[in-house]
Structure 1
């Protein structure tokens, strides 16, 4: 009996010893373990996403591509596939599966190496969220302890959801929803069983079982999982046979934007980094911009069409490279790494015929360029000259030439193009609140991420004149005032040469009305206006349009547009004219949502009275969504220009289109358009800024390193066609939106040659708009001697 008692206690000690050891280890490790409750509020690293205002994805920023989903959004087929692959006892164990651990221990003893970790899904959640990936016993013990705690505090659904949203699945994809998009371009809910099993096979080895990098090995892993599902009763034989017969269709799907607006995305990214720092890339912010997707698409197309048209007017500069000695099977290798830029595809000439050229594209497809689609290609000699017209394809291209092409509607047919050397920028704002409606900073962001809308400081030339004319109209000038368009010579004793400002055509028209001087863009009139107003006073006035005084040189040449300004600054200035004199400011981010899609901030622009109701409704809606409640009242922009002055100036700028340098815009057949062209010395910059009550749009064309565009190239030939194409699309179907005439203005019939009140029967008499205090006396007063010829002169002497 004593022997039995001794044996009993020996067996009890042997059995309890490991338990005591494990308990001691648990007591030792437990205080250092993290709090499992934090899993309820865990924030997964999620990229920054930028959208248009109509919810089109523009870009995604961040190292981890992740699209978190809830358990309810996960298809049952995937749940069954993942459990079959990773943890078929998941629904029944309490965080640890003893059988799996014993199997792992047996493998370690028999091989001397760790083959499998024996980890359950719960243990992997513990490791992924709290621990390192080091394969050591202390980490495994911590993993087990944490798994037991997790099972006590979270449901199986919560644990499964945490797991599938965290795991890395290759190609920057974190979580199963991101993997579905990366490998199949679809949400996981839309995938068939075979593809669900393929994704379920990735957690074990995202690189080795990757269906893009190793499709055969990935198929073997997929088929094993399908067999396990059949064995476990998750699927029947028919579903198994169908899935096994499904070919591997996975391929890499990048983060495909729904809208091409990379310059907009970069502006939003920079603003988010400034506001949130590095967390902008990881905290899952959703940024909605003010950009309209349809307008942005039209802006891209108009800018590229305009640059290509300019480029082809000056001839063909030859192929990007030549490989005349390559065999047919080697042709693709010469262009495989060349990207498409601005919609222009790389191609290589494979054969030259009598009336066409055969080409090979980067993907190996073949195509044809007909003679009519390449006969434009006269040799480029300089900005001002080209070589003779080509007579046959061989005069333009040779076998092995690396070129750029545009696809035509006919299948397999292409047009010869080339990458433009000139660049352009287009920005369109709402004049009512300054919101950026469309913006493109160059021909191709891939080619150059230099944003010419916000970074390129160039002289606007005559596009700057309206700001000076506004100062003149506020100083007592009227649209009928006569100014002398005659030569001027300046030398202040500090210059090596005299400054002799001149008009674009080199001619002089003598006394000319202010209205006509603007739509004819007479330089000498602008200089005389600034002389009379005074440089300092004129520039101080021009600051009202949103310009920084430091950007405005204190010199008479500023009257001709010599300040170096960005297209966005010019557009902002024109917005003040377009909205009746209110100083709105450009803004881009309409609202910011956090990873839970709650609005955490939104734009609070300065708006015109016309836009107050719309923005008050918008802000009130956001304030009701737990967004910040501060500044919930709409702020009205300051009216910095007399509305009567703006109306007069607007009328004069409408004449730029109806009878002046921007007459091409008449093809839009609208009476609510106004604007001004601009061309700098030696035709180095071409501008057009124009507007109606809905949009103000500025276009610039030039070279990044200033060089002449060509002697026949002006703002009217380079920038205006781009503006016209864009505005035609932007305003299609929209009613005319003109400025209402403010009180205090009168219309008087004047003599076009004198600017004075017209007598009855005066030939060519026309109506002019005057402020009441500047209205000229009637012709009857002239008859009784109450108005002398000296009184009729403008403040600036004619000669």
Structure 2
């Protein structure tokens, strides 16, 4: 090592010691630099934010007096062009600033904008909160931070849709709010705001709400009434006292509490107001308001759709909204749900949801959001996410299996004891197993285990995801994890409206169109906005047709509850379950269920029906009281009505599908063999090109006539020998037996030769056939003539008898007999023979008696075979 590079231990330690003070100094410098860097970044952010605010503000739209007053109403028209609802200003009562009582103004400022009197249109604290929300919500404002002035600007100029609450929009609101504060007084701003806010249903403005809810002028409002309206401003339909009285009362009392804390009312006034029942003073809905309940769910779905797709506010924008509403069908839906004329609902608490979608176009023709509605915009159950039970099976299991794996409707699945991958056991509804069954039987009878096996053992997750997304289903709703899980084979969650739309893709040859209520919007300046969604090929036509063919069996088997004469239709039932703990807790019977579904479709319409209770604690559905069958009854009443007078041609089988007769029980599918009985033949559907080609031999091969049949008679031995060729089967596991018939006397043999001693004389017909697999083939046949044999004992006796009878009877024949038997005239040799005969005859006759039963002695061998 070089001398110059050598460092002693002492020198090293010294160098380390010398460096330590330098490190402390560097740490201090590092902290200072970090602080300076952060300060610089904050300063840059503030400057950049300011510049960005100026940029956004510069692009803010102009706000006019018409915008503030909101004088433009919107008209909604049905599919026939008839106006069925006017939304907005025409139903609004305006009040002047001096007509609003102080209690109303205090209630609104207490809950919505406590610094209203002091700010210049924006609230810095609120803006900071909104900015934080922007960061944590990926560019979306989570809410809060808006002053009453900003809310007025938003209601007048901007969309109220949640997705439009961006930082840019917030900046523009703030800028316009500051400008508005310079132009108008606080009293004017408050008055405009109170006249514009939505008060549930088609009620806009506090003055209108005062008349509609309490039948009084706004100036007469009391504390509890003013507090209710102030509380409704945040979520008018949620806190509607007609629809959700409990929520409305809770919200009202929050406002009263804040008013008391802010010194706006006394403790005594607060207590009195809080103790006032929420329904005190409320008047009944007007007849006009009640008429709108017929189409209430449809109306607010259409309004929300316009807001979401255009960003326009139908209540102020003066639009013509062309909907897809079939008013005739809508009235029928309302009537079926709200009377016992068509369906026995058992009690008033059972709820229902109905969604009617045109299969080819995706147009929503009618919606039933619930029963016994008390006011507008009650909870719409057609858009609520609900567990759908077995109605999901065609969408998560059998549809993907046919689409991706090209399963046939005959595809065999073993229904047997089964557990999910995590070990959780799964059972069928009847707690039984059926062994090997077809896909058709598994789906028609809604067997759980076959569905779970196909989804979890045969399909890839990606194949399922692609299929369900193509038919518009949101996988995030399928499970708590927001992903496909093993139990999705038999249950998942979606909305009744979306379920009807997904099933419509089966009815429409695999084409999917998102269900929509509005086709077109015409703005005040005449601009037309087309809202028709695109139609996409969600699946192959063979998948749609084959699923439909199976579901037609479901519709036909539902105890005639959905059957409609001359109407081709398909459908699926579904139920969900209570846990054992829930049944014990609520005292429900074992067959109780919380939800019951029927989703069915024709070539023209797809219709989903859900029934249940809004709370699992409120009640259950059961077979015993008929409530589990209610969805099918609702479906039948509505589908029969809307199908009247329409062309209802059955679905045509596409060229991609081939119908094939197969032998039931074969696995994989085989064509029937020649001996397959008709009872074992089923007709099933296959994707063209995947049909079975192998012929089944379960019931035997096609048997032919045996060959080589021959017969030989040994006159000296008086024995007939019959031979034939051995019959060869293709199957090595089966043997044949031979069926031999001689002049109609039959026997069964296993060998290829047999002998008959002293066979019948004369012409003999011999037939032979083979039996195997429980069937008998065609016969081979030959003939042989056996000469008359000479009986020596008869030669001695018969002439004497003949001679005695000759004069009296047939002399000619006796002469012939005498001529034929010349040995009778030679007694000596005959006597010698007769002496031998008695001794030899028993010996000759004894074999005859033992040989005759020898042929059937072979029958036990056949039994053993």
Q: TM-score, normalised by structure 2?
A: 0.45
- Between 1 and 2, higher relative CO (CA 8 Å, sep ≥ 6) is seen in 1
Bigger radius of gyration:
2
TM-score (norm 1): 0.49
